[in-house]
């Protein structure tokens, strides 16, 4: 009616679909659980891919340069894997080129060495003077040492090439005492002023590449002979998961300050800490 006042109240409008207060907390907890599960799955995938990268890096560090990382996507881990594979390819290529160069140079060295030896033998046959013959014999010994050095370089290059190309060495059971006795029989005539001996002990068998194992021990014994005063002793130790080969001489030894510079490896891929690999001291 005229003169009467009317009031209209608008809002707040209550919605019929509003969740009760007692459901807010379970919904929030459920949402957090779902988000946590999604984050866990993402992190699990990243961790698995990082573990594959770590495994590949470990294999390459051990000398198996043929190892590559499987690239699954183009994200940052995929790009990291591609960069990793590119690095491995480059390292493998460089090492292969280095090994080929070493082999080529070593083979080329054989020709002049053979010529010099032939010339020395001819001169030795042409003279009867004792002083000249002694000098020629010394030259011939130096040539023999150079020839052995070329053989060593070729051996190391061949081993390095097998490591670079991922080839496995052919291993067999080696009787260590018999192998050590062969080394002594080989070197004794070259060092008649020294007593080379094998210490008493049990028979020990070792799974290794026979030629390279004997070459490694022969190198150690030969080095000991160069520094020994009167004797060199080889001793074998059968330890858990490890065969240790000690080569001891009575020479002056290595100064303590210089011992840290000595590499622990005997041949590529063999270290003093590896199971079934020879260890040398002295």
Residue-wise pLDDT tens digits, 259-272: 776 654 444 334 33
Rounded to 5 degrees, what angle do the CA atoms 100, 103, 109 make?
Answer: 140
The 10s digit of each residue's pLDDT in 6-16 is 766 665 555 55
- Does the structural domain 32-168 have CATH classification 1.20.1300.10? no
pLDDT at 30: 85
Question: Is the Cβ–Cβ distance between 211 and 204 less than 8 Å?
Answer: no
Q: What is the pTM of this model?
A: 0.47
Residue 282: its pLDDT value, please?
Answer: 35
Closest Cα partner for 245 from 220, 209, 210? Answer: 220
Q: 253-272 b/e with 16+ CB inside 10 Å = b?
A: eeeeeeeeeeeeebbbbbee
pLDDT lower than 70: segments of the chain:
1-4, 7-22, 158-169, 261-282
Burial class (CB in 10 A: 0-12, 13-18, 19+), 228: buried
CA triplet 184, 189, 193: central angle to 5 degrees?
95
> What is the chain's length?
282
**Domain residue ranges of the chain, discontinuous segments joined by +:** 32-168, 172-261
pLDDT recorded at residue 272: 35
Sign of dihedral through CA atoms 92, 93, 94, 97?
Answer: positive
> Which CATH number is correct for 172-261, 3.30.565.10, 3.10.105.10, 3.40.30.10, 2.40.40.20?
3.30.565.10
Q: Tell me, what's the pLDDT at 33?
A: 92
| The pLDDT of residue 167 | 55
Rounded (10°) CA dihedral 154, 159, 160, 165: 120
pLDDT at position 271, please?
35
């Amino acid at each position: 009616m005229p003169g009467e006042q009317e009031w209209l109240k608008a809002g707040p409008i209550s919605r019929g679909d509003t969740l009760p207060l007692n459901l807010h907390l379970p919904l929030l907890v459920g949402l957090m659980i779902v988000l946590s599960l999604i984050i866990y799955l993402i992190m699990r995938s990243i961790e698995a891919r990082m573990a594959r990268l770590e495994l590949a890096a470990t294999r390459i560090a051990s000398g198996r340069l043929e190892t590559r990382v499987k690239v699954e996507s183009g994200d940052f881990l995929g790009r990291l894997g591609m960069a990793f594979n590119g690095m491995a390819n480059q390292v493998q290529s460089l090492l292969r080129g280095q090994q080929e160069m070493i082999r080529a140079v070593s083979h080329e060295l054989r020709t002049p060495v053979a010529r010099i030896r032939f010339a020395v033998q001819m001169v030795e046959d042409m003279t009867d003077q004792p002083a000249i013959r002694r000098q020629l014999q010394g030259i011939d010994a130096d040539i023999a040492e150079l020839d052995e050095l070329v053989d060593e370089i070729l051996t190391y290059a061949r081993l390095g090439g097998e490591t670079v190309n991922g080839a496995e060495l052919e291993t067999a059971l080696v009787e260590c005492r018999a192998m050590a006795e062969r080394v002594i029989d080989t070197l004794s005539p070259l060092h008649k002023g020294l007593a080379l001996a094998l210490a008493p002990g049990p028979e020990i068998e070792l799974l290794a590449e026979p030629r390279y194992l004997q070459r490694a021990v022969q190198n150690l014994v030969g080095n000991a002979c160069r520094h020994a005063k009167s004797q060199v002793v080889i001793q074998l130790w059968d330890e858990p998961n490890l065969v240790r080969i000690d080569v001891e001489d009575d020479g002056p030894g290595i100064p303590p300050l210089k011992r840290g510079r000595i590499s622990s490896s005997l041949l590529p891929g063999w270290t003093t800490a590896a199971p079934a690999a020879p260890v040398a001291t002295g």
